[in-house]
């Protein structure tokens, strides 16, 4: 039994959950960012391990994907006479900015003559979502790339880098927010 082949079947089939079992207008992403098996090139390993994320804006959809993954693993276990262990941890909640806080962030950027781009929904996992369940706020990105310096790779990319001169703009944005909110 080659656990690498079985794991590959699982990963490929898990990708089909989104493309074949979910309404195409609903957003969902399944990503496996870690795959491990064996330690040499000439021996079939005893085990294989993968780890990833599932991102949705809908908790029912999250449950659907989890259940489908479990059924896939059950089928692979029966078909290949293996055992498996799935530890599915629900990640971060979707980030929903509060309208008033969003307007403060926008006003601060405009007051400082910083570029303010409204974005479409983004599939980013962020623990800030838990803060927003307790207290009003807004999550925003300040930007840290610089084409002139060749700093253009996106986050979660092995070539990601930060132009540290961007920190002054982020700091000024935060200070302006505090000023607007009359914190000092």
Interatomic CA distance for residues 10 and 7, integer angstroms = 5
Q: How far apart are CA 134 and CA 73, in angstroms?
A: 37
| pLDDT of amino acid 13 | 97
Q: Check which CATH number belongs to the domain holding 159 and give it.
A: 1.10.150.900
pLDDT given at position 134: 93
Contacts of 21 (CB under 8 A, 6+ apart): 64, 68
| Structural domains in the chain (count) | 2
The confidence score (pLDDT) of residue 122 equals 74
CATH assignment at residue 12: 3.30.70.360
In this predicted model, what pLDDT tens digit does every residue of 43-57 receive, in sequence order?
Answer: 999 999 999 999 888
Query: In this predicted structure, what is the pLDDT of residue 120?
Result: 78
Given a cut of 70, the residues of the chain with pLDDT beneath it are 125
- Give residue 35's domain range: 3-80
Residues 176 and 147 in one domain: yes
Residue 10 domain flag: yes
Both tokens of 122, joined, read 């983004």
Is there a domain that residue 94 lies in?
Answer: no
- Write out the DSSP string of 6-38: HHHHHHHHHHHHHHHHS-TTS-EEEEEEEEEE-
Does residue 91 belong to any structural domain of this protein? no
Please count the residues of the chain: 184
Q: What angle do CA 116, 125, 121 make, to 5 degrees?
A: 45
User: Do residues 62 and 103 share a domain?
Assistant: no
């Amino acid at each position: 039994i080659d656990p690498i082949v079985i794991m590959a079947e699982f990963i490929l089939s898990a990708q089909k959950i989104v493309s074949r079992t979910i309404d195409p207008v609903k957003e969902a992403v399944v990503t496996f960012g870690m795959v491990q098996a064996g330690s040499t090139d000439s021996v079939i390993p005893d085990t294989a391990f993968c780890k990833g994320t599932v991102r949705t804006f809908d908790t029912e959809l999250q449950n659907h994907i989890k259940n489908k993954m479990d059924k896939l693993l059950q089928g692979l276990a029966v078909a290949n006479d293996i055992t498996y262990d799935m530890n599915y941890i629900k990640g971060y909640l979707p980030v929903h900015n509060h309208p008033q806080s969003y307007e403060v962030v926008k006003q601060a950027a405009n007051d400082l003559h910083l570029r303010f781009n409204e974005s479409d929904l983004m599939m980013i996992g962020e623990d800030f979502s838990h803060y927003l369940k307790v207290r009003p706020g807004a999550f925003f990105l300040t930007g840290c790339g610089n084409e002139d310096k060749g700093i253009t790779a996106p986050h979660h990319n092995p070539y990601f880098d930060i132009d540290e001169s961007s920190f002054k703009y982020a700091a000024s944005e935060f200070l302006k927010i505090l000023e607007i909110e009359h914190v000092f």
